[in-house]
């Protein structure tokens, strides 16, 4: 018997810039090691007014302290090319479950990795592409290139 999840105690709570509006439901973890593990989603509103679904563990662990555009503004990255790539990656990961290095969920780490391993974008024609399309977005599998498939 799984203990009933008491979502009510989280409604109205604040985590960083997030305020929990209501409970959305749960999904089973896709990690086979944690098959019985549930991920609880809450509808949250950021200080800036953006509304997103955020997993409870990201709130309680402090991994998510506000929406992505607030995080980008804080780092002065909004509107940069790398920020555009990063937000695309985050969306693809969420919507289509495309593998993205866990480290890269933190935009600073993503930008550090790209600068360190790939260097600056050689030209405006270069895109952020995968070396091997059967693998996901991890540092050893990305490059600046002219992939036929425009991935990001
Ligand atoms: Zn925000």
Tell me, in angstroms, the distance from the centre of ligand 1 to residue 73's CA: 9
The mean of the pLDDT values for the chain is: 89
pLDDT of residue 68: 85
- What pLDDT, in 10s, does the model give residues 48-82? 999 999 999 999 999 999 998 888 887 778 778 89
Tell me, in angstroms, the distance from the centre of ligand 1 to residue 67's CA: 4
The DSSP letter of residue 16 is T
Tell me, in angstroms, the distance from the centre of ligand 1 to residue 51's CA: 8
The parent domain of residue 109 ranges over: 67-152
- Domain identity same for 71 and 146: yes
Tell me, in angstroms, the distance from the centre of ligand 1 to residue 65's CA: 9
Domain stops at, among 65, 98, 116: 65
- What pLDDT, in 10s, does the model give residues 123-148? 988 999 999 888 999 999 999 998 66
- Domain identity same for 93 and 142: yes
DSSP letter for each residue of 89-149: HHHHHHHH---B-GGGGSHHHHHHHIIIII-S-S-TT-EEEESSTTS-B-GGGEEEE--SS
Domain stops at, among 13, 33, 65: 65
pTM (whole model) above 0.85: no
Neighbours of ion ligand 1 (CB under 5 A): 46, 48, 50, 66-67, 70
Number of domains forming the structure of the chain:
2
Domain stops at, among 21, 43, 65: 65
Q: What's the pLDDT band for 97 if we cut at 50, 70, 90?
A: confident
- Domain identity same for 77 and 140: yes
- Domain identity same for 76 and 26: no
């Amino acid at each position: 018997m799984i203990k009933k999840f008491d979502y009510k105690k989280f409604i109205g709570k604040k985590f960083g810039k997030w305020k929990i509006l209501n409970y959305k439901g749960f999904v089973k973890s896709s990690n086979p090691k944690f098959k019985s593990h549930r991920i609880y989603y809450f509808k949250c509103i950021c200080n800036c007014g953006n509304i997103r679904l955020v997993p409870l563990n990201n709130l309680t662990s402090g991994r998510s302290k506000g929406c992505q555009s607030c995080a980008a503004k804080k780092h002065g990255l909004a509107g940069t090319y790398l920020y555009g790539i990063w937000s695309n990656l985050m969306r693809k990961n969420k919507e289509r479950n495309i593998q993205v290095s866990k480290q890269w969920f933190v935009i600073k780490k993503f930008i550090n990795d790209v600068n360190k391993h790939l260097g600056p974008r050689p030209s405006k024609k270069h895109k952020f592409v995968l070396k091997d399309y059967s693998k996901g977005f991890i540092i050893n599998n990305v490059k600046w290139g002219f992939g036929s498939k425009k991935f990001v």
